[in-house]
Chain A
Amino acid sequence: MIRSILSLATVTILLGAAFAAPALDARSLRIEVNGLVCAFCADGITRTFKKEDAAAEVFVSLEDKLVAVQLKDGADITGATATQLLTDAGYTVVGIQRTDATVAEIKAEVGR
């Protein structure tokens, strides 16, 4: 019985480490968004994320249908929160990726 409990605890810790650690280590969120067609849209999204304590920098690319949010060290914005923020701003989230790239690196990647 004790062995079973220890095994279950070990598996839980390992799974937690596997899924939770990368989320906290990610430096940025790359969010694909539908409905991004004008600079006014981008301004609203930038202001929305800049109100978040965990957001260090925000970049919006209409061309790439992309919202990139760099996280402050040790801080996080969950996928659910990011989706809610963009939905409340009037846009549709297609997908969210976590990446170790900074916003500056994402900008360079998309040619900005």
Chain B
Amino acid sequence: MPRLFSLGLMALAGVALASPVVARPISYAGGHMLMLEHEPDVDRFSYTYSPSHRWSVSAGGLRATDLARSGEVELGYVRAARLLHRWNLPSAQANAFVWGGVGQGRTALGNSLARHAGLQLDYETRRVYTSFISELHEGDGWSHRFDTAAIGWAPYAHDVDRVATWIVVKGMRATNAIDDDVTPVAVLRFFTTRWWLEVGADADGRPLANVMVNL
């Protein structure tokens, strides 16, 4: 059944690959953002400052478990993100972001300089959300790619004076993991002008949560 759900999700999302954050990597000009995320096999935290809507700088960490060869990866990093292009439509917005960073990585193979790069494509109306995120992490002797495809639906169109509610399904996958199948997850997402909360579970019932605050 989980595999059937997984295949269905892949068909739904088009390309269901694997894993990072669904929130955008850049806030508004002058915005500060804190993010904490727990997924079944990955934990993340980051602080992001956006001097403009076109780029941001972040510092953060990541811990991924159940990875083949490297066993477990712990990363501390700094990164810069860039908005490549934004499409502002009358009732929708679409974005293309890229980012890259360096830091210190610790795995079963030892400590080494770690580097990463990622991209995010998203399209959003007030009722429909889709995104694809891919992030590649590399160090000496190890490499993992985390991909996430997501599609969401809002039961009502929110506005600034109302909490937004979304039902989001995602397909998540980490390459070179012990189990590198697509992990399907379903989350409820709530957000206002200042905070963002996601809670959900994967097909095996393992919980996940994501909290983000605009400071």
Q: Residues of A with Cβ closer than 8 Å to B?
A: 33-48, 60-63, 65, 88-92, 94, 112
Complex: chain A residue closest to B196, CB-CB: A40
> For residue B93, which residues in chain A have a CB less than 8 angstroms away from its CB?
35-38, 41
Closest to A92 in B: B88
Contact A40 B159 (CB under 8 A): no
Separation in Å of the A60 CB from the closest CB of chain B?
A: 6
Which B positions have Cβ atoms within 8 angstroms of A?
A: 27-31, 52-54, 83, 86-93, 124-126, 157-161, 164, 191-194, 196, 214
A94 to chain B, nearest CB (A): 8
Residues on B with beta carbons closer than 8 Å to the beta carbon of A43: 28, 160, 193-194, 214
A residues in contact with B29, CB < 8 Å: 44, 48, 88-89
The reply to whether A91 and B88 contact each other, CB–CB distance below 8 Å, is: yes
Q: Which one of A45, A46, A62, A90 lies within 8 Å of B159 (CB-CB)?
A: A62
**Quick check: A89 and B53 within 8 Å, CB to CB?**
yes
- The distance in angstroms between the C-alpha atoms of A35 and B160, with both chains bound, is 14
In the complex, what's the smallest C-beta–C-beta distance from B210 to chain A, in angstroms?
14
Chain B residues, CB < 8 A from A90: 28, 53-54, 83, 86, 88
